[in-house]
Every structure is written in C-alpha cells, then in structure tokens.
Amino acid sequence: MRRIISIMAACLMLSSCGRTSSLYYWGGNTNGTTTYEHLAYKSYDKQTPESLCKLIVAYEDIVSHPKGTRQVPPPGICAEYGYLLLQSGTAETFSNHATLNQKMTFEGLDYAKLFRQRGEEMMKKEIELYPESERFIAPLLKRLTE
C-alpha cells in the first residue's frame, strides 16, 4: 500500500512539471525578459528615435496578435500603446526614423492621422477589455483628444 501511495505521489509531482502557459503574451523572450519589458525599459531609460520605433512595432504586435490563455492583450498595454501614439511628436519621429520594415507594419503614409485614430482606438479597447480601467482612461482620453 505504501508503495502505491509513493508511486502515485511521484507521478503527481512529475505531472506538475510540465510547461505552463502564460495568461497573456508580452512579445516573446529575450535574455530572460519579454520583448515588451526589454524595449519599454530601453525606450524610457535612454530614449532614442530608433528605440521608440521598435517599441511602437512591439506594441502593435502584442495587441494585434494576442496569445496566451486569454487571447487578449495584457492589462494596460492598449492604454499605454494608445497614450504613446497620441503623444505629440510620436508620428513625426516614426515617420523620420522607422525602418522600411517597421513602416510596413502600418498601412498608409499619413502617420499623424493613423496614429491619432489608432491611439484613440487602443484607449477605447482598453476600456472594452478591462471595464474597471474606464475611470482612469476615459478622462485621459478626453484630455488627449481635445
């Protein structure tokens, strides 16, 4: 009887060692951090036009191709991405410094109009996916779009 219990306990312990799936997709892993963590830190620590362009493309990938168990963008990503797109100068920086490959992420050449529309869309999507964020996002969106 003890042998059966020991075998069952060992099987249970080994079965829990399988691969765990993440609830949200944060853009793959690079050197032990997710792409989002790496690029966001790099962009905010020592922001360059190139790091900003990389961050915009990473955000677009995360929100456009959600993975993970829930199949939706992680909490806060849509709002953070929308806020970045609505900041003055972001479209101009992207237009002047993005690589051709990065520019192919977006259709069209009027980045000011495109980023404004996409920024508002992302802020609204944040509220749609996470309704508890409305009390923070709605006033911010109103202030940014006026």
Give yes or no for a contact between 112 and 106, defined as CB atoms under 8 angstroms apart. Answer: no
pLDDT score of 143: 92
pLDDT score of 12: 54
Q: Which residues of the chain have pLDDT under 70?
A: 1-21, 30
User: Where do the structural domains in the chain lie, given as residue ranges?
Assistant: 24-145
Dist. CA 101–CA 96, nearest whole Å = 13
pLDDT score of 44: 74
pLDDT score of 89: 94
The separation between CA 9 and the C-alpha centre of its own chain, rounded to angstroms, equals: 40
pLDDT score of 18: 47
